Structure 1
Amino acid sequence: MTPSNIVEFVRDIYQTSEFIPLHAPTFSGNEKEYVLETIDSTFVSSVGKFVDQFEQKIEAFTGSPKAVATVNGTAALHAALYMVGVERGDLVITQALTFVATCNALYHMGAEPVFVDVSPVSLGLCPKALEAYLSENADLTENGCFHTGTKQRIRAVVPMHTFGHPVEMDELIAVCAKWKLALVEDAAESLGSFYKDKHTGTIGDFGAMSFNGNKVITTGGGGMVLCATEDSGKHTKHVTTTAKVPHPYEFFHDKPGFNYRMPNVNAALGCAQMEVLEDYLVNKRILAASYQSLFSGSEFEFVAEPSYAKSNYWLNAVICPSSDEREQLIKETNAAGVMTRPIWKLMHRLPMFANAMRGDLPHSETIEARLVNLPSTPVWNKSVKRHD
């Protein structure tokens, strides 16, 4: 398998000699109609029917008791962490192999990340690594879980469903229950992914989703907090809308809040995208199967969904035989106009998180050195019915 083989394969899939991006938004339904409706109504900001409709569509699709729309995925994660009680000075365990937004949310809360290793099966937080770190570095008291060395409270665990592949949630929940830790799912990349029969983001205490332009569906910018109960959802919605107490004309806010509400114009885009989500997911799985067939029998390992899960295959990925071959693949494909990219740098390699506490990270380091993401925009399959 050579980079030129991969370029030829991708160009055949997309049937173009033009530049092929990693993941472009697809608009095939009522996007223009709904967005223009918001403009005609003048309700383009945080009040309007599409915000409520988008939340309801996400609730129906994911099975979440309550979904709360936000301006972006980082805001959704920030709100979820706030809701589980993360405070300044707390420690939150997460993975070093993640997008920086996961740690940025902690930084702006005054909390500190602690990095543990990922599983080679899911590319997400490893339950065994989590248990090992806690056993070696934490004390459990009647008041909660505390770091043995610094005496800081360990408040929560944040696994990320990397590239849409669900982590081992049952095992992580068991570890969190044992150590009295909240579990917040970073489900930014996993709309349409299921752990066993449950949608990602609905299994822990809270989940956070993203609808950035490069996600499975997009609202331009936007996020969503998935809440485990209706009551927690009502509280989340209140806090993310400046904690304003409803009144016909008075302005009274009963606690510090966030101005995180998703604008109606963005939600309109999301409503249209949700109408064709099922079709997008079907076509993404067709694309993933094509990649898996391409790499079958080669020295390159396609990243397939775990046996316990159904993934949305947000970004397709392959593990190269070596870091040198990864560099060659990235350079030659991009030079040929086919966008590929490495996975993110491990968070402790970034200057602002260089001093963060961490366990051993052998799987994270191997994946960082050898993984390449491949073009993953769903290709429309004629056998799949469109909803125009």
Structure 2
Amino acid sequence: MKIAILGHGTVGSGVSKIIQNRQGDLVSNSLEIKYIYVRPNKVAENPLFTADYDQILNDDEVEVVVEVMGGLEPAKTMIIQALSHGKNVVTANKAVVARNIVEFNQVANQNNARFYFESAVGGGIPWIINLERALRIDQIDSIHGIFNGTSNYILDVMTKTGASFADVLKEAQDLGYAEADPSADIDGYDIENKLCISVDIAYNTFVQPGDELLKFGIRNITDQDIQYFKDQGWVVKLIGRSFRKDNRFSFVVEPTLYSPGEIEAGIHNNYNYVGLRGNTIGKLSFNGQGAGELPTAHALVQDILDLAAHTSHLYREFDQPLTLDNSLKLKNYVVRTSADISTYLAGYEFTKDGNYYHIDQIDTAKMHHIVAEIDRRNIDVFLACISRHRTRV
């Protein structure tokens, strides 16, 4: 099977290494890189490099296009063009998948092609394929996890060392874990993309990233917050979670507090942890490298091998009508702010410990609304959910 790779950055280079180094019998016997699409000024550096996408599209020998450029455009257009030419596409681009998964699948079906995206969620973790396997038998009613390794690294190092957020973020950037603009990682947008994709598959619906989806990141966390949580017997993680009940579902990205004995509390460094709950399998979870050159490339090559072996993935119509409802569960929260928020909490039980409010049994939508009001007043605020919860009666 001959393939073309769009982009030759970190992940694209990883795909090249795995295939060209003949990693494993299946790779060495079945895969060959014919083109690597790069900028025009790079073409002379490698005989496989080309800046002519039409050359790739019009070459009938190319069966798979691997999109690893990132971003929304030109990635979306190039994926649609490849599928329209009957070429299979695999991608690690969670942002473009989260917004266009329905269209990509429609175009693929119309042109007898396949669209696979295992590496878009969880990097090297075999999350999508196992979510699909569970769905062959089960209805999935919840998804949750640590979907972003950069934020997990920052929180883990802060917890271990007591260092400031700014110092650990700089360290993460120096190590290549965080971009120069870290907003996607620390503000929850990366998790939002990955949770959207997971929810789409799990619930057979289509949820696009947007302001209506609740997100609160770790940009405002301080070393004093970390120490306070430790004193209370908690470890903080940035979590994405969704729960489905009948035709309603919740969707939230927020810091969450765990006791040291809980699994999430023990996920260290830049690792990911994602899980589901099905009606027969129960809780099922996966832990591993969620990003990086070779782990992500490994997942991409697994998709290519599935295509070479004519292995079908679960087909979804993404047409289940569901209503977003973040009041499905009552949770306990800790909110740190210098503002007096007691008037917002009328009817709720809460205690105050310095600048830390401990609020009992409040729904997620209400809690995020209160915090958004404080933020609009330009008052520093940090929110964390306590992992224990009960369902609203």
Same fold by TM-score, threshold 0.5 exceeded? no
Larger RCO: 1 or 2 (CA < 8 Å, sep 6+): 1
Determine which structure has the larger strand proportion and give its number: 2
